[in-house]
Structure 1
Amino acid sequence: MEAINVLSKFLRMRPNVFSYMGTKDKRAITVQEIAVLKVTAERLSHLNKCLNNFKLGNFCYKKHPLKLGELQGNHCGHQEHHRDRGADLILKTRPGAEKGYLVKCREEWAQSQDPEAALKKLSVKHCVEGQLLRGLSMYVKKNIITAFAMIPRNNRLMYIHSYQSFMWNTMVSRRIEAFGVKAVEGDLVLREGTAFVLSAAEAETHSIQDVMMPLPGFEVIYPTHHVGKGYREMLSADNLDIDNMRHRVRDYSLAGAYRRILIKPSDVSWEVINYEDPRVSLVHTDVEKLEDQPPPVFNKEGKYRALRMEFSLPPSTYATMAIREVLKMDTSIKNQTQLNTTWLN
């Protein structure tokens, strides 16, 4: 998202002219396709002279934009509601490391709830917080939907999808706690793209890797065991009706989808390497390969050891969670920031 905002600033265009298939981990070295309307490859290529921390390349022309969720998967290499309440959740103070101007902005919002005063604390106003505050300043809280429309569409969709994912994570945790890692009566599986509820006999012929859990919405069905009923309870607690997930603003209508509880990665490889300098990358990135830079050379007698992994994942599965399963460690932003600080000091 930050890269899109930077590009829109240089091109003097709105962020919503860009399209992409998903967002990448901000702390990783990643490669992905993006599309932009009515901009030449030459113009984009020239931007590389003034871009920091990311590069553009491999240009081509297509007739259609990209859509969220279209990607076929990811190959990963690693080194180790209430509507007005929605605005508060975006603008509230957060633990962990964050840019100074955002800290001051959030503190002002917590104290005054004054969008104009909080906006004045922002030196970078094209961020999501700045866009929301500008909308609140113009339309006040009485027209919160219009205020939210100041945020680019893909950013707004991220908040909706995050809520669905939060519910999915909660329900999956309850389901594993209740039934373990086996298929049971009342679970859902997909057959030729359609969800079905398993009977007791059918559950005996399926594994946990077949079991799906729904992201809430108007196009999905829910497990029929007691864990499935938790969806209704959780949505009701947020003043949402499980039987009426459509909204007069199309972007806020939740269609829903299905995700597997457990995914087995493919193309898995790993090695333990020794190295000397913790500031040197241990991965030969795609940019380095394109620029014919040599791969990193490791000192077999190095005082540090690292686990380097590669694997492929399908859509809607996340490398961060795969790493957490392997390393059994906290993957929160606060903890990862503390690890970085400790390591580099």
Structure 2
Amino acid sequence: MTLQPENDGGLEPPTKRRRLSIDPTGTSRDRVDPSVSNMTMLTPEQKKEFEVGIQAYVEPHAKPFEGILKQRYSDFLVNEILPNGQVVHLRSTRAPRLKQSRVNNDSATPTQPQVDENDTNQASEPADVPPQQTGNGGNAEQKVQELPDVAEDDRTKLVENLNENAVADLLKLYQSIRGNPSKKAHEHPVVRTEFTTDRSIRSQIHQRIREVFNSTIESSTDHDGVLVLKAANSNSRGKQQGNSWNRPQNKNQRPGKLGWLDRGGEYLHFTVYKENKDTMEVISWLTRNLKCNAKNFQFAGTKDRRAVTTQRCSAYRIEAERLEAQNRTLRGSKVGDFEYHQQGLELGDLSGNEFVITLRDCKHSGEGNAGLDLHAFKQSLLQGMRSLRGNGYINYYGQQRFGTFSTRTDVIGRHILQENYQAACDAILSFQQDALDAAQQQDSTTQIGQDDKNRALAIHTWRKDHTLNAALDILPRKFSAEAQLMRHLTKQPSDYLGALMTIQRNLRLMYVHAHQSYIWNMAATNRMKVLGSEVAKGDLVLVSEHKEKDNSSNGADDNGAMAVDADGEQIIEPAGHDRAAQEDDVFERARALTEEEVNSGKYSIFDIVLPQPGYDILYPDNESGEFYKTFMSTPEGGELDPYSMRRKHREFSLSGSYRKVLARIGEDFDVEVHSYAKDDEQFVKTDVDLMHGARRGDEANEAEGNAAERGPDEKSEGDKVAAVLKFQLGASQYATMALRQLSRGGIAQYKPDFSGGR
């Protein structure tokens, strides 16, 4: 992989390190000095990127081109990828029809669910059952033999990751726990077995063991990389075991009604399909209609709003039939593929996302699309996609990370880290004057969205006379942070920290995470500018990924599942006080490379990580590390000390984390190109389209149907060109940043007439 050299005032760059181009215009192959005077050369979108540190490119291997992103929300399809590699698609919206077997009134054994044979949309049910309650008769050995085994498919998956002997010992441990619930944890056997060094697979195995054995077995990894399996302590087991297995889950449960264990668990996992909506919009709608708390719902990560997305969610003690019924009134959303489990989803329980993106009105930069050869254009795109796989792209945090309003989320986070909580509240409650003017004048011709106008009017109303009810009547429900601040500050006008703490936890953490992300973006640009694609002494690599290359003794425990926020980033806490997944849940560790390791050739630029600032991380021991001290001392960097990131309020104490400098798309990708005439012509089918076998009414027309069935390079009447790109990215990687590299900054996001004002 090569990187473009920059023009540094006629000075010859070092021969061993090629530098990266910092190109504000997105078109020139020479570096343009990123000064204020040159900012006038940028488009508004490029200027926003430049302001949050998105300034550099890996050298492109294809001709730059232009295109329009998200002209229709169905041009951006996102399907979540589960930890096991399965891509989530909506298959069915029907709840599983379960029948209850007859119960012997004298038996304490719980009833077992039976799937209705007439139901063609049945969900798979775990075969594991709760421990049987026996009388005083019989010995322990006899009780162990009577215990059921785990489901065969669960056992098969465990054997794939461990081995036959280890799984056999694990099952004996499980039977010992279930057959002898009164024993203390240390009285049960301990299983030790070799373990993979792949951290992502380790996390999946830890999660699988928790799910299969109902959290009765604790899994951890010792300093030698050996997997240690032992009984959970009695308090932890008591939450899942004990008498709760056989007593009704609530006092109003009717005799003969299936209990949660009979269904498969207290957590209902389901697929959420949504169009042009935020994840929290759908969840909030469900909680209002089901009359339950939002805390009952969990998901692995948020998804784009202007898109069609499919993801898994979980709900605590909510029947599938109740959720299925919501499909009758849900707008732009569907729920389905219901399965009961014994544990809910956690943020970060995904391995990435699959994207199918349609780019419209494509043309080579500086050229019209008249006479554009579709075959040649497709080959150029394929070359660029191969470069995204082989050479990668800078793993920037995209603009989504920094919000869509006039005050960026990283600015709010900067105020919080400076412990200026009043400024943080004022920033959240800021709005554009144009939005307020349009709302007060009831101007329906403006390009400012109605929600944005109502938001501005609500905040203005509250600030003017502190009439809370009047303001909340105007404020759209989706602006929950603003509503919470106004409620609290109406009661306690000077308690700004208290007001911030009323905001949903994941959201308020994202503010400070956003400032970390801003610093990371700036550091990534600097690192690639100074050191290029060469691995340098003092660069950081993750300890958990390179133990086989590391001959030193400064190892660290495996990490298992990490707590993350709604964007997939690690929760910044000094300790996992909420609910640690297992004993070896610790922060990710990194170490600096020596000169000998650099010269060994064992490490590439794809191994190098940069830290997000925190008190529990290591900074690079080279020019890249010096940048943190220099930049963070400036007003833009927050005038912060990178080595002093603890705060009086524990939640805002930044422990820090690490992120790969470069990312790359998955090895399986695809490119199609189409010519078209009508802007509403659709080239891909959504999950609902595929499930119904036809397009929905508002998109169905004969011409569009014909376009969907054409081959990728067949021409239809029309001189416009669309490209359909399909690829996969890991968690917390941004498709917009991959597209930026692919097009050399030529892709512009479509701005609907009603979406201005942000």
Is it true that 1:256 corresponds to 2:656 in the alignment? yes
Q: Which amino acid aligns with 1:199?
A: T
1:224 aligned residue: 621
Matched residue of 2:424: which SS? helix
> Is 1:322 aligned with 2:746?
no
Instruction: Show CA shifts across 1:226-265 (max 9, x none).
Output: 3323334555553655334345655433332211111121
The count of aligned residue pairs is 337
Q: Residue 155 of structure 1 aligns with which residue? A: 507
Alpha carbons of structure 1 residues 124 and 111: separation in structure 2 relative to 1, 3 Å: closer
Q: 1:203 aligned to 2:598? A: yes
1:98–1:177: structure 2 CA closer, same or farther, 3 Å change rule? farther
Residue 98 of structure 1, CA deviation: 5.3
Residue identity opposite 2:591 in structure 1 = F
One of 543, 546, 557 as aligned partner of 1:191:
543
Give the aligned partner of residue 429 of structure 2.
91
> Following the alignment from structure 1 to structure 2, what is the Cα–Cα distance between the partners of residues 252 and 11?
34
Q: How big is the shift at 1:188?
A: 1.0
- The reply on whether 1:131 has 2:547 as its aligned counterpart is no
Amino acid at match of 1:217: G
Displacement of 1:26: 1.0
Give the whole-Å Cα distance in 1 for the aligned partners of 2:533 and 2:738. Answer: 17
Q: 1:170 and 1:74 mapped to 2: Cα distance?
A: 25
Amino acid paired to 2:512: I
Aligned counterparts, 1:66-77, within 5 A: 66-77=345-356
Structure 1 position 116 matched with structure 2 position 116: no
Gaps of 5+ in 2: 1-279, 360-413, 416-420, 436-446, 546-588, 696-704
Deviation at 1:11, TM superposition (A): 2.4
Amino acid at match of 2:495: N
The equivalent of 1:281 in structure 2 is: 682
Which residue is 2:709 aligned to?
297
The structure with the larger Rg is 2
Counterpart position of 2:313:
34
Counterpart residue identity of residue 134, structure 1: R
Assess if the C-alpha contact under 8 Å between 1:105 and 1:121 holds in 2: no
Higher mean C-alpha deviation, range 254-263 or range 237-246: 237-246
Q: 1:293 to 1:12 in 2, by over 3 A?
A: same
User: 1:174 pairs with 526, 545, 570, which one?
Assistant: 526
Give the direction of change, closer, same or farther, for the CA distance of 1:126–1:285 in structure 2 (3 Å limit). Answer: closer
Specify whether residues 105 and 123 from structure 1 end up closer, same or farther in structure 2 by C-alpha distance, changes over 3 A only.
closer
Contact conserved, 2:461 with 2:467, CA < 8 A, in 1? Answer: no
Check the 8 A contact 1:24/1:30 in 2, yes or no.
Answer: yes
Aligned to 1:63: 342
User: 1:16-27, aligned counterparts within 5 Å?
Assistant: 16-27=295-306
Q: Which residue of 1 aligns with 2:123?
A: none
Does structure 1 retain, via aligned residues, the 8 Å contact 2:472–2:483? Answer: no
CA contact (8 A) 1:29 1:285 kept: yes
Give the alignment's TM-score, normalised by structure 2.
0.41
TM-score, with normalisation over the residues of structure 1? 0.85
- Say whether the 8 Å CA contact 2:448–2:753 is kept in structure 1: no
Give the secondary-structure state (helix, strand or coil) at the position aligned to 2:689: helix
Equivalent position of 1:336 in the other structure: 749
Shift of 1:224: 2.0
User: For the Cα contact (< 8 Å) 1:101–1:121, is it kept in 2?
Assistant: no
Residue type of the partner of 1:61? Y
- Return the offset for 1:32: 0.9
2:671 paired residue among 246, 249, 270: 270
Moved more, 113-122 or 318-327: 113-122
User: Percent identity over the alignment?
Assistant: 31
> Cα RMSD between the aligned structures?
3.0
Match of 2:724 among 296, 299, 308: 308
What CA distance in whole angstroms lies between the structure 2 residues aligned with 1:226 and 1:5? 47
Tell me how far apart the structure 2 counterparts of residues 117 and 180 of structure 1 sit (CA, whole Å).
56
User: 1:60-116, CA deviations, whole angstroms, 9 ceiling, x for partnerless residues?
Assistant: 122223222231111111112322222233222259965334335336757985593
Distance 2:348 2:449 in 1: 30
Answer whether contact 1:167 1:215 (CA < 8 A) is retained: yes
Indicate which of 450, 456, 459 corresponds to 1:106: 456
Q: Which moved more, 1:111-120 or 1:35-44?
A: 111-120
Write the letter of the residue equivalent to 2:296: V
Which moved further from structure 2: 52-61 or 280-289? 280-289
Q: Compute the displacement of 1:59 (Å).
A: 1.4
- Asked which structure has the greater RCO (Cα within 8 Å, sep 6+), the reply is 2
Q: Report deviation, 1:223.
A: 1.3
Deviation at 1:21, TM superposition (A): 1.4
AA in 2 matched with 1:305: V
Structure with bigger helix share is: 1
**Unmatched 5+ stretches in structure 1:** none
